[in-house]
Structure 1
Amino acid sequence: MRRGIYLLEEVDFRPMNSKRPLEYLTWLTRYKQEDRLRSAPELTSGMSIRSREIDLVGAFYAVGITGHPQFKAVTLWDCHGGWDGGWRQMMEIYTGVDGKLFLSDIDDLRFSAFSRPLGAVHGSPALSSLCAEGYAAEFYLFESATVRPGAALEYLEAVRAERAPLLASYGHRLVGLYEVLFCDTEVVTLWGMSLDSHLAMQRARDAALGLDDEVPGDPRLLDWSKRARDYLSGPWRETLLSPFPGSRLALDRRP
């Protein structure tokens, strides 16, 4: 089985016009739904590469109150076929630097975008399998962590073996364990959950810290934070994402 290759993109919008992420996510989900019916990839003016093998699995509005810059959209792409599939198709559009690369229907809508190429590790679900299952969640927990150089795979294995069962006990389902490619200091994990699951885990952590006496505390949550420091060397952050209707990981998949 080939390694799963994915792409995560964070998109910012300036000035702070709240309609811009709505316009972007509506435009993106609509044309990618059309791409699922395509028979061959094509480089087009206005929309760049059109391909069913470059699959928009997740389109999210970043929940700003959890630590994202406002306003932000996050997208998750599945390169079907891995390196020789969707990734090759994305790379081929840069051969010869075709003029179509510099034309977009959403010019001036986005302020900036940052992409992370991701490689799945052992225990990471195939996004295509999750989509085939029809899996979707109310919210998604997005972790970005800076690890010691070379420790990415060790950290992700610890997450798989130790943290995933803990989060599962709070109704969090593992969606992805990813090494950020072309660097050796960053990882990304993604989890699906309900709002109630999110709140229950936060209160259990507060109680373990002695800051909430109305629910039982769970010291395992604090133990994991200490354990994670064996691998971390820089910023670690978790933020929440709300799936946009029409995307594959949204409860409401209508366009």
Structure 2
Amino acid sequence: MRRGIYLIEEVDFRPMNSRAPREYLTWLTRYKREDEALDRPVLTSGLSIRSREIDLVGAFYAVGITGHPQFRAVTLWDCHGGWDGGWRQMMEIYDGVDDRLFLSDIDDLRFSAFSRPLGAVAGGPAIADLLAEPYAAPFYVLESARVRPGAALDYLAAVAEERAPILADHGHRCVGLYEVLLCDSEVVTLWGATLDDHLALQRAYDAALGLDDEVEPDPRLLAWRKRSRDFLEGPWRETLIAPFPGSRLAPR
């Protein structure tokens, strides 16, 4: 079985117009729904590549108060067929640099976009399996961490074995464990949770620090923070993202 290949993109909007991310996510989810009817990939003026194998599985609005620049949208794409499937289709549009590559219906709407290819690792679910359940959560926790060069797979293995069961006890479900590809020092993980689960987890962590005496502490949360430093070398951050209505991982 080949590994799953995904793409995560973070999009910023300027000036700070709160309608811009809504307009972008509305446009994106609508035209990707139309792509489900395609029987082959096509390159069209104003829309770049359209393909059902490049599947928009998650479209999210960043919860700015949790550490995102405001305003930001996050999208997650599943490259069906892996390297030889959706990823190949995305790369083929750069062969010959077709004029249509430089046209988009959303020109000037986005200020900047940062894309990272992701490789799924053992211990994490395939998103296609989650969608088949179907699974969806009202919030998702997006972790981005810089690890020691070469330590990405070791960190993710520890997350799967040690951290995931702790978070599961606090209502957080693992949605994806990913090595950031084309580099050797970054990982991304994704977790689904309710608002109540998010709040309870934060309070259990506070209680373990001795800063909340009204709830039960979970010392395992502190132990994991210490354990994670065996792998981390740079910034570690978790932020919350809310699924955009009409996207695949959004509650219906």
TM range (shorter): over 0.9
Which residue pairs with 2:77 in the alignment?
A: 77
Q: Quote the residue 2:199 is aligned against.
A: 199
What's the counterpart of residue 114 of structure 2? 114
Cα offsets for 1:48-74 (capped at 9, x unmatched): 000000000000000000000000000
Equivalent in the alignment of 1:225: 225
Matches within 5 A, 1:153-168: 153-168=153-168
CA shift at 1:133, angstroms? Answer: 1.3
- Provide the aligned length of Structure 1 versus Structure 2: 252
* Structure 1, gaps ≥5 residues long: none
Partner Cα distance (1:202, 1:20) in 2 = 31
Give the match's secondary structure for 1:58.
strand
Alpha-carbon separation, structure 2, partners of 1:146 and 1:222: 19
Q: 2:176 maps to which residue?
A: 176
Alignment RMSD: 0.5
- What TM-score, normalized by structure 2, do the two folds share? 0.99
Structure 2 gaps of 5+ residues are none
Tell me how far apart the structure 1 counterparts of residues 237 and 2 of structure 2 sit (CA, whole Å). 29
2:232 partner amino acid: L
For residue 17 of structure 1, what is the aligned residue in structure 2?
17
Q: Deviations over 1:112-142 (max 9, x none)?
A: 0000100000011111111111110010000
Deviations 1:218-248 (A, max 9, x none): 1100000000000000000000000000100
Residue 2 of structure 1: how far off its partner (Å): 1.1
What is the one-letter code of the residue matched to 1:133? E
Deviation at 1:213, TM superposition (A): 0.8
Secondary structure, aligned partner of 2:179: strand
> Residue 154 of structure 1 aligns to a residue in which SS?
helix
- Give me the whole-angstrom Cα distance separating, in 2, the residues matched to 1:123 and 1:212: 33
Cα displacement string for residues 189-223 of structure 1 (whole angstroms, at most 9, x for unaligned residues): 00001001000100000011111111011110000
CA distance in 1, matches of 2:34, 2:132: 18
Query: Could you tell me which amino acid in structure 1 is paired with residue 77 of structure 2?
Result: W
- Counting aligned pairs with the same residue, the percent is 79
User: What is aligned with 2:243?
Assistant: 243
Q: The residue matched to 2:235 in structure 1 has which SS?
A: strand
Moved more, 213-222 or 66-75: 213-222
Residues 34-45 of structure 1 correspond to what in structure 2 (within 5 A)? Answer: 34-45=34-45
